[in-house]
Each structure stands twice: as structure tokens, then as C-alpha cells.
Chains A and B, each alone.
Chain A
Amino acid sequence: MSGRFSWKKTSAEAQLLLIGIPVFLWTMIPVYHLFLFAISSKDSATSGRLWPKEPTLQNFGIVFREQHFYLNHFWLQLLNSVVIAVTVAVLTLFIATCAAFAISRLKLVGGRTVMNLALFTYFIPAAFLAVPMYKTMSVYGLLNSQWALILAMVTIASPYGIWVLKQASDKLPWELDEAARIDGASPLQLFRLVYVPLMMPSLVAVGTYSLLLAWNEYLYAFLLLSKDTDVTLAVALGNFLSADDSPWELLMATGFIYALPPAAIYYAFKRYMVSGLTAGAVKS
């Protein structure tokens, strides 16, 4: 009977809520604080109230008009962040997709070794590699070039991307490759016309991952870039903390703006990340 009260169902929902509510609070309280700071005036920012007496958007105005010492290059630095993150995502996707295709579908000799090496790179925390990476970039004369950060982030993101895409590739029905080969597809055509369209959900996932990784990166960006006009917004935000009387409300307002694109990207691409694109290919 529909709509009948069921203890089992209710208790299952209660359990979910019991877990869900603390997790939600845990996640949202810092974000709420961020937002609270951003809409408070400088004096009332630390008042401890749950909602400011006089909420204001003035902070955002100061940020957008670059009306503070720390914010002199706000728009340029935001653009740097965008350019670097997008380039990292594109390069990572290109490398990881080609590698996964070659290893998983073309059964390249030595593919297993590449996979193991890719995994091996994660045995060492990325932070430990920052200084060696700095040294490497200086050898190549890339310091103070945004390519240094881009290449470093691609290096960090690619192994994970290769792993994820290789696993996803392995799940594609093998008969599709064989059918395409018989239909007359060269490996490149197979890649372009069959493989990439079917891998789209995983490509979006890996692309988003590497985009956000680069967007949120602080340590490498801080080390490898130094000019105010080169750095990403993440580094610029860090610079706020170099003074004793930091303008918290501006830091938070900028931080809030900085957090919006990732959220937007996540929601925009969420629908692509669902699996099921291969439904109907083969009978399972």
C-alpha cells in the first residue's frame, strides 16, 4: 500500500539525516563565516553575530574596483588563475586521454609499467617535491613564467588522470573497437570518433579535477611565481596575511568570489559525470 507509514523507511531516513545534518553543518559553517565576513563592514566583522546588523555589499565594490593595496591587480590575477587552470586542464586531459587510450585500447607494450610509475609518483607528497620542482624549473629557465606553474600542475595532475581514464577505458566494450576496426577505422579515427565521445563523462571528471586542482593551488603558485602581475588570485589572497592588520572583510569577499567559479563549474558539469552513456552498446 502506498503512503503507509513504515517504521523501516522512517528509521532509514532518520539515520541518513543523523549523518547528513552534522556533515552539512560541518561543511557549511566555515563557508557561512566567509560569507558573513564578506557582507560585514570592517568594524562589525568580528562581532560574533549570526547576521550583521547592517549587511553591506561595499566590500565587493572595493574588490571589483581594485581600491585596496592588496587588490591592485585583482582582475589580472583572476585572469591568471583562469588561464592557468584552463591550460592545466586542457594539457592534463590531452596527456591522460592519449596515455589511457594507448595503454588500455591499443595495448601498448610497457603500458603496465607506465601505470605503475604513475601510481608511484603519489608515494611522495607533492609538497616535498616543491623544492626539487623549483630547481627543475630554474634549470629550464622557466622561473617567473606561468609555464612553470602550468607544467608543475600538469605533472601533478596527469598520473591521477591517467589512472582514472585507464580504469574507465577498460570498461568500454572491446567489441566496439573491433567493430570499428572492421568498419575501417584507423587508430586515430577510433580515438576521435568512438573512444573520446564514449569517454566524455570521465573526461569531464578528470578535466574538472585538474582545473580545480590548479585553481586552488597555493604552494606551487607561491614558489614558482613572484611578480604581482603573474601570480594567481590564490597567492594574492595569501599576501593579505603578510600584514598585522589585514583587511579581513576584503580577504573574505575576495575569497568568496574566488570560490564561486569552482562551484559553478561543478554544477555545470555534474550532469555529464553520470555514467550510462554507453547504455545500448552491447547487451550486458
Chain B
Amino acid sequence: MASVSFRDIRKSFGKVEVIHGIGFDITDGEFVVLVGPSGCGKSTLLRMLAGLEDISGGEIVIDGRVVNELESKDRDIAMVFQSYALYPHMTVRENMGFSLRLRNAEKATTDERVMRAAKILNLDQLLERYPRELSGGQRQRVAMGRAIVRDPKVFLFDEPLSNLDAKLRVAMRAEIKALHQRLKTTTVYVTHDQIEAMTMADRIVVMHDGIVEQIGTPLELFDKPGNLFVAQFIGSPAMNVLPGTLRRGSNGAYVEALGSRWPVPSTVSGNDGQAVSYGIRPGDLSLADAGVAAKVFVVEPTGAETELLLQVGDAQLTLVMHGRTTAQPDDTVHLAIAAAHAHVFDHASGQRLS
């Protein structure tokens, strides 16, 4: 187990810089998820940590030691790949024991550690099989087993669940989280799926275009997104965002948008007349007898919840409510807005005003 630090990390491919100076620290035993849309540089950052890509600038520190010039094998890390990358000509046992074999570990030690990892992952019945004889989920577990056997300082996961079907993904998500709670090994996990990030992470690093947009616990990011990008990236369905103007009247502040007044938290900063983006999560809207008028566009019942697509002026809003509704398409409804949960961002910079 170890801490990891990124210090002003930069990466260029030829003349194109894709990572523009990233710095943050991961504490010992923490589960950190790097999340962002494809092309944001999250995988590149992970591969630099793994030693699979050169570092163009800055320093990566594992357990107090700068590893920039260290080979992958000397960094004491283990990585689980999206494609599993199992050795097809080796059995599950050989795959899991490969790293120990390379270190000339004694056979008894190897057997014992492979067995222990296999038991943790329910692979003990499959040890003599070849990867081609396993299902996707089993292969994924072997890839994780290969990492566990090493007992490394840091686990790296590169979109490990992207090749699994939806149901298995949810199950494996829980398995990885449980595994981390059991082993408490520092983990860096890359995904483009914000739900994965939210459900698994101790802390999330949201990346976009080669920079860090925000770092925080899942609920911090959800409750107080630092900017518009994070606000729209985290949360599903995505936050409703309306262009508007901040007004400071005698009765407090509000945002004028789509011809209506939208309530804001009392803590909001910014000046009267400032152009802003007003954000409200679908779950923070509810149906009421009075309030902003909206026309129902589509009703999507999912059982426990109902999602309504609404038309307000020329903007579309999403509303998520618990239970069911009698609202029909083309009905006019009124919206109650949880003012304390509204978000206001500067229109030009996208930064949070609070």
C-alpha cells in the first residue's frame, strides 16, 4: 500500500499536448476514480502511472519515490486492462502466478498466493481452465486475480467493466468495491461512466480536455459541482441548465430565465444583471399546484420512478419523481423548485457562483 502523487504532469504526443499540468495526491488505501469523456486524458494519465507511457513533464511519486524513470516492473503496481489481456496459452493458475514466476518465487509460495486470490474471487474451481474456456465475467476476475496475487502497492484499473454486459457490470462493480474494502490497497480506477465513478470512489477526479475540472467525494461533486462541466457530467439524468440573468431584488436573489423567476440558494454570489447558467437537477424539480408552468412532452415510467420531459418556453427540462403520475403528454403542469439545491454558474466562465 502506498500514497501516489501527481505533480504538474504533462504529456505530449509529438507537438500536441494532451495533458496540461495535472497535480493531485492520493492517500494510502484510497479508491480514486478518474472519470471524464473519451479523449480527456484519463487513460493516458493512468498509463503514465503504470509506466506504459513516458512522462513529458512533471513528476509521479509512488510511496515517496519519484518513479518517472522507473520501468513498469519496478514500480510495484498491478493493472487490470479493459480487454483483460490474459495470456491465452496459460491456464488460469499460470496466468495468476505469472508475475511470481518471473520473480523466481518458490512454487509453494506461488501456489499458496494463487490459491488465496482464487478463493477471494471464487476462481478456485477454474484454475486449470484456459481463458478461452471462461465467460467474460470470469476472465475479468482472473485479470483481477492476477493483480491481487502480486500484492502490489497500487492497483490500476483501466475501464475494466466496459466489455461486460449491463447486469454483470453492476455485479462486478460491487465485487471490486468489496475487494477494495477487504484489501485496502490504494486503487486508481479509470472509467468514462459516471455511475461507476459515483458508486465506487472514495474520491473522484473529473477530467476534461487534459485538465482536472474538480476533485471531491462523489456527493461533494453531486451537491456542489465547481463548474458547469462537472455539473452536467455527474448525475443521471443530467442536470437541467438554462441560460438566464441573475437578479438581486429586495426579496433576495433569483434568476430570470425563460420568462420565469427561478429561485436560488441564499448563498449565491454574483452581481445583479450578470449573465448566468441556472442548473437544477431533475430530482430537485417536483410537480406542484402553482409555480413555473411547463408542458408535458413525454412521460417515461420506470416503475419506482417516473421521468417527465417538459417544455418550458423553448427549453426542455427533465423532471424525475418518485412514484407515478397522472400527467399526460400536452398537459400543463406547474413546477416546484428546491431552491436550496439550485446551482448558479457564471455564463462566460462556467464557474460556480456561491
Bound-state Cα–Cα, A194 to B101, Å: 13
What are 8 A-B contacts with C-beta separation under 8 Å? A180-B87, A184-B103, A193-B102, A197-B89, A277-B88, A279-B132, A280-B130, A281-B86
Interface members, chain A 55-104 (any B CB < 8 Å): none
- Let me know if A281 and B102 touch, CB within 8 A: no
User: Mask for A267-284, Cβ within 8 A of B = 1, else 0?
Assistant: 000000000011111110
Contacts of A183 in B (CB 8 A): 73, 98-99, 102, 146, 150
- Let me know if B103 and A282 touch, CB within 8 A: no
A-B pairs under 8 A by CB, number? 83
How many chain B residues sit at the interface, stated as a range, is 20 to 34
Question: Besides the contacts A193-B98, A197-B89, A283-B139, what 7 more A-B pairs have beta carbons closer than 8 Å?
Answer: A180-B98, A182-B50, A184-B103, A186-B73, A198-B88, A280-B131, A282-B86
Query: Which residue of the partner chain B has the closest CB to A194?
Result: B87
CB within 8 A of A281: which of B72, B78, B131, B163? Answer: B131
Tell me the count of chain A residues lying within 8 A, CB to CB, of chain B: 24
- Asked if B83 lies at the interface with its beta carbon under 8 angstroms from chain A, I say yes
Nearest CB of chain A from residue B190's CB, rounded to whole Å: 14
Known: A197-B89, A198-B88, A278-B88. A283 touches B83 (CB 8 A): yes
Bound-state Cα–Cα, A283 to B139, Å: 9
A contact residues vs B (CB 8 Å cutoff): 173, 175-176, 178-186, 189, 193-194, 197-198, 277-283
CB within 8 A of A185: which of B73, B78, B130, B132? Answer: B73
Bound-state Cα–Cα, A281 to B163, Å: 13
Nearest CB of chain B from residue A190's CB, rounded to whole Å: 10
User: Mask for B71-113, Cβ within 8 A of A = 1, else 0?
Assistant: 1110001110101111111000000001100110000000000
- Asked if B243 lies at the interface with its beta carbon under 8 angstroms from chain A, I say no
- Let me know if B85 and A179 touch, CB within 8 A: yes
Nearest CB of chain B from residue A201's CB, rounded to whole Å: 11
CB within 8 A of A173: which of B85, B102, B146? Answer: B85
Contacts of A176 in B (CB 8 A): 85, 87
Query: Which residue of the partner chain B has the closest CB to A175?
Result: B85
